[in-house]
Structure 1
Amino acid sequence: MHILMIECNPNGIAGIANALELGHDVTLVSVDPDFYLGVSPLAEAAYAHPNCQVVKSEQAFSIEELTALARRLHAENPIHGVTTYSEYHTVHTAAVAEALGLPGMSVEGARNARHKHLTRLTLDGTGVRQPRFAHVADADDPAAVEAAVREIGFPCVVKPSDGTASLHVLHLKDEDDLRAYLADLADVADYGRGVRRIPDVLIEEFVTGELISVESCVLGRGEVVNLGLTDRPLSGFPYFIEMGATYFSGHPLQDELFAMTTRVLDELGVDFGFIHTEFLLGPDGPVLCEVNGRLIGGIVPTLMQLSSGVDPYLEVIRQALGERPELPFPGETTAGGHWFGAPVAGTVDSIGFEALQDLPGFHDALAYKKAGTRVTRLSTSNFDWIGHVIFTGADRTEVNKRCEEALDLIDLRMKLEVAR
């Protein structure tokens, strides 16, 4: 079978490697294929595999150009499935699958999930609990932004409609914060690798509470299977950086969260694939944060596999090929991980994990940055991470305790930048 992968993400290269190992052909289309060589230890071997074709396309973020490219690739070697692990490319994947007559999410459902203002507007008035919000169609229109902030009031949260990984999501406490944010955002024309920013932003009521997500698989319209929950501890204002994750079941609000997720996905028209839906556990109950129309990213697919014995990266591909996926429900083992970053800006000398190897429940530790790489202080988004640790245990409490203790044992050595 031939799989078309439209971009990817660093951890998702494992899915490409798994598909190649099973004998599938994989074509990866990317604006910058070399990016994955720098962030995934599996990329070099995957690229060198005889069944892997890597196509560099400067127009991979243009749906029209991408669809034309997919038709050419399909004519050369018939494509049997189209997928992505990239949040930025879920709409593109849906459009190409539709154009080729292959399994995939409806384009409308993909757009409603991908663009946060469409999520909010589509669900407005349906009874789904959301923060109070105001949609601004153009962040470069200061009068419109100021009117939206006045409507919602301080403190509030501002976020680009098409962002991901908490990038450019900020807690605003006053007018000075707002002016600084808009000045910074005006300089952001794209998110890198050809991904252009749309002008829409949301101003939202600031909701306090634990961040938790529901991991689901939609087998078809109205066939939502809710698998388990992922907790998402956050670090520090004014930004929202995810610092850990645990995949589990059994939360006191699980039934309500599952029911809300099913309703949200049905209302949005999300009708295919693995889906990641985030909620804030506010004082009046769960409040929808956002919907991501793809498999959860980062280390969580690994946590899902450790707990369930099922590789979700591979099941994404199987579903794209028209097969019924095996579903990674949480098992008796709980798996969790914590990310870490640098306390100051500087250049990495080394990151050592030797002291972690014999700890109970230790599974994995990985540094994302090589020696000689300049890093920023962990401060603004998930892109500031420089590594992770993963542990297993009997429950969330044990896993989180093990992860937190391990962070103190990481040997991070850096050359510091001296202010002049």
Structure 2
Amino acid sequence: MRFLVCRWEVGSIEALLAQGADVVLLVDEWEAAHHAMDPAVVARLERLIEIGSFEAMDELAMLVTGFQEEGLTFDKVVSVCERGQFGAAYLATLLGLGQPTIAQSVQVRDKRAMKMAVRPSGVPVARFTTVPSGDPGAAALHVERTIGFPAVVKPVAGAGTLSTARVETSGELALWLRENATEGVFMAEQMISGEEYHVDAVWVDGEPWEFVVSRYFRPRIEVDVPGHLMGSIQLPRQGEAELYGAVEALHRRVNEALHITDGITHTELFRSAAGTLWFSEIATRPGGLGATQAFRARGADLREVWAESLVSPVRKSKPLQEPPFEYVGSVNLAPRSAGRITREPSDAEIAAFSYVLDTERTARVGDVVWMSPVTPGVTLIIGADSEEEFTERVLAVEAALTFETEPDGTEPDEDVPA
């Protein structure tokens, strides 16, 4: 099978190659300049093509015409990152493939379209409004009248909690808009309080091959110190049967509303103090910052399961097993100041913690990092026999495994999925 893959995400690409797929990879100019693509992986690609932008429809259209002239055909188009979704759907349409559709790409990228599609199914979703462009003061008053405060303001097609903030008053919102919303379209939505969860699953013909509910250490929007309590813990199905039943029922309604039957999903939910589950958003790509790597403790990275499902609708591997600890999760350790990394935790330092099950480095000495909720560093997969022990172990590795940086003026990278 030949796949046209949009964007560089090495774990997904390696998983497809391991399944025997032929991969033609598209990257844009920004990626080519800012991402260090592993030469060994690049050498295994059928072809690497650099384009100007995944949002340039004329460029994508001419690319497809070139494929057709050459006689190059594809079985599937997939985007492995958030900002390739629109382009992947446009390419799939031009190539005559059924999925992903353009309409679906809008609904999984534009959070307003997503909520409008899901709301008629009866799934609880937050009230929202588009933030008017122009005068920030007038925009803030509009949000106050339609949504009220506190509210969450975010890009309508953002990723994770980048350029996202909780605002308490119209004055605070007006100031935030002046400083942060100079480009793009923003929305404001009702603030939902409670525990925040993410659900990672692989679907085939509407049924899950794998389905795991994880709880963030604290809601993502509350993360204010990079590398501190930045991660989540997978919840055991046998101990959370009621939660799993409710979440899976809600997820199926969301899938139906968005016409999601196959592929990988990363879904965000809140559970209020009263126990109500609120749908936040869904992405049809692998989750980041350890969400898929945590599955390795069960036998395989979730991206590997996804790759298998893309190559064959009949599962040949066994379902993933229970992890070696009752609780497994991921924690992202990151520098506490922006700049060029001059020191990182060594392999020997990490190995001193016997309960660290896996390690994936997202930044190395020499890399430049910036301060955000998704500052790269090193992702650790940790096991524990209780939630309390898990938290203790997370705090222990945070204290011991540190980074050092020196100032650097490079522009930030804002392309890490959450």
Task: Tell me which interval the TM-score lies in, with the shorter structure as reference length.
Answer: 0.7 to 0.9
For 1:343, give the aligned amino acid.
R
Give secondary structure in 1 for the equivalent of 2:282: strand
The alpha-carbon distance between structure 1 residues 149 and 4, as it changes in their structure 2 partners (threshold 3 A), is same
Q: CA deviation at 1:296?
A: 1.8
For 1:287, give the aligned amino acid.
W
Which residue does the alignment assign to 2:198? 213
Is the CA contact (8 Å cut-off) linking 1:18 and 1:314 kept in structure 2?
Answer: yes
1:57 and 2:55 matched: no
For 2:249, give the aligned amino acid.
A
Moved more, 396-405 or 355-364: 396-405
Q: CA deviation at 1:207?
A: 1.4
Give secondary structure in 1 for the equivalent of 2:293: helix
Q: CA deviation at 1:332?
A: 3.5
Matches within 5 A, 1:64-103: 64-73=58-67, 75-102=70-97
1:232 and 2:216 matched: yes
Matches within 5 A, 1:383-394: 384-394=375-385
Is the CA contact (8 Å cut-off) linking 2:230 and 2:332 kept in structure 1?
Answer: yes
Which residue does the alignment assign to 2:4? 4
Residues 239-288 of structure 1, C-alpha deviations (whole Å, 9 max, x = no match): 69781023343235221111111111111222331111110111231111
Q: Structure 2 stretches of 5 or more lacking a match? A: 409-418
Q: Structure 1 stretches of 5 or more lacking a match? A: 189-196
Task: State how far apart, in whole Å, the 2-side matches of 1:243 and 1:302 are.
Answer: 15
Give secondary structure in 2 for the equivalent of 1:266: helix
For 1:127, give the aligned amino acid.
G
Matches within 5 A, 1:4-403: 4-8=4-8, 12-32=9-29, 33-35=31-33, 37-38=35-36, 43-49=38-44, 51-73=45-67, 75-102=70-97, 104-136=99-131, 138-140=132-134, 142=136, 143-188=138-183, 197=184, 199=185, 201-220=186-205, 222-223=206-207, 227-234=211-218, 237=222, 243-250=230-237, 251=240, 252-284=242-274, 285-307=276-298, 309-321=299-311, 323-324=313-314, 329=320, 331-333=322-324, 334-353=327-346, 354-376=348-370, 378=371, 380-382=372-374, 384-394=375-385, 396-403=387-394
The alpha-carbon distance between structure 1 residues 21 and 290, as it changes in their structure 2 partners (threshold 3 A), is closer
For 1:404, give the aligned amino acid.
L
For 1:361, give the aligned amino acid.
Y
The alpha-carbon distance between structure 1 residues 113 and 415, as it changes in their structure 2 partners (threshold 3 A), is closer
Q: Share of identical aligned residues, percent?
A: 20
TM-score w.r.t. structure 2 length? 0.83
Which residue does the alignment assign to 2:401? 410
Task: State how far apart, in whole Å, the 1-side matches of 2:345 and 2:208 are.
Answer: 42
For 1:294, give the aligned amino acid.
R
Task: State how far apart, in whole Å, the 2-side matches of 1:86 and 1:23 are.
Answer: 21
Q: CA deviation at 1:170?
A: 0.4
Is the CA contact (8 Å cut-off) linking 2:233 and 2:328 kept in structure 1?
Answer: yes
Which residue does the alignment assign to 1:192? none
